Amino acid sequence: MGMITKHTSITALAVIGLLVAGTSCKRGHDNTGVEYAPQMYDAVGYEPYRQIKPNTINPQGLNMRLPARGTVARPNYHTTFGEGSEAKTDLMMYNIPADSIGIAERVLINPIPETEKSMAEGQVLYTRYCSHCHGQTGKGDGPVAAQYKGVPNYATDAYKTLNDGHIFHVITHGKGRMWPHGSQITPEDRWKIVQYVHKLQQG
């Protein structure tokens, strides 16, 4: 009796195995059959950026939360330069890292056309933000420089050939003993200062 039961069990297991194997092989476009631990082999083909289900975390089902009360808006510096058919719009963001001044020297060109107005504004901005160290004429003789030391004269040595990208990058991130001014001066105003510094480089 025991032998019969044993053979019956083996036969039953064999039949079940054949059934599982048979149904597993019947794979179709919409039916993968029976799989053991498929895990991530058959991923769900979601459409990119498709909303799968309503947002239950944020109020009113919003995907993006509103800014906190009192948030200060960041300027996008969306500025138009030039006039008429030559006018161009530029989003003046600056993402070149502080340690990549060589890249700035190679790729940056002042987007602001040089005019009497832009030069005059550059002089005002230079006086406001730079003259206390660099001096009114760029000779490095500002009142702070008397104590701080090491402020260069724009019209001497290698300083008189510094290009747009170098000057803009240094204003933004600082260099040596000069502190960064990127948080104090907008990109547009920095470019106007660059124009005026070029004038001071001429001596």
Q: Residue 54: inside a domain, yes or no?
A: no
Q: Give the residue with greater pLDDT, 203 vs 165.
A: 165
Using DSSP's 3-state secondary structure scheme, residue 78 falls into: strand
Per-residue confidence band for 172, with pLDDT thresholds at 50, 70 and 90: very high
Whether 1 has a pLDDT exceeding 60, the answer reads: no
Q: Residue 72: inside a domain, yes or no?
A: no
- What average pLDDT does the segment 127-139 reach? 95
The neighbouring-strand residues paired with 178 are 175
The residue type found at 172 is: T
Q: Residue 20: inside a domain, yes or no?
A: no
Distance CA 84, CA 100 (A): 35
Which residues does 146 contact at the CB level (< 8 Å), separation at least 6? none
Q: Residue 46: inside a domain, yes or no?
A: no
Q: What is the DSSP letter of 79?
A: E
Per-residue confidence band for 201, with pLDDT thresholds at 50, 70 and 90: very high
Handedness of CA 81, 85, 90, 96 (dihedral sign): negative
Q: What is the DSSP letter of 183?
A: T
- CA end-to-end span of the chain: 115
Predicted local confidence at residue 21, as pLDDT: 65
Of 38-42, 50-54, 105-109, 157-161, the poorest mean pLDDT is in: 38-42
- What average pLDDT does the segment 109-132 reach? 94
Q: What is the CATH number of the domain that holds 144?
A: 1.10.760.10
- pLDDT tens digit sequence for 70-115: 887 766 565 666 667 766 655 566 788 899 999 999 999 998 889 9
Q: Residue 157: inside a domain, yes or no?
A: yes
- pLDDT tens digit sequence for 43-78: 666 677 777 778 888 888 888 888 888 887 766 565
Distance CA 115, CA 121 (A): 10
Q: Residue 123: inside a domain, yes or no?
A: yes
Q: Residue 164: inside a domain, yes or no?
A: yes
User: What is the average pLDDT score of the chain?
Assistant: 82
What is the total count of domains within the chain?
Answer: 1
Per-residue confidence band for 42, with pLDDT thresholds at 50, 70 and 90: low
- What average pLDDT does the segment 6-18 reach? 70
Q: Residue 30: inside a domain, yes or no?
A: no
- What average pLDDT does the segment 10-38 reach? 67
- What average pLDDT does the segment 147-160 reach? 89
- In terms of residue numbers, what domain contains 111? 92-201
Predicted local confidence at residue 47, as pLDDT: 73
Highest mean pLDDT among 96-110, 119-133, 136-150: 119-133
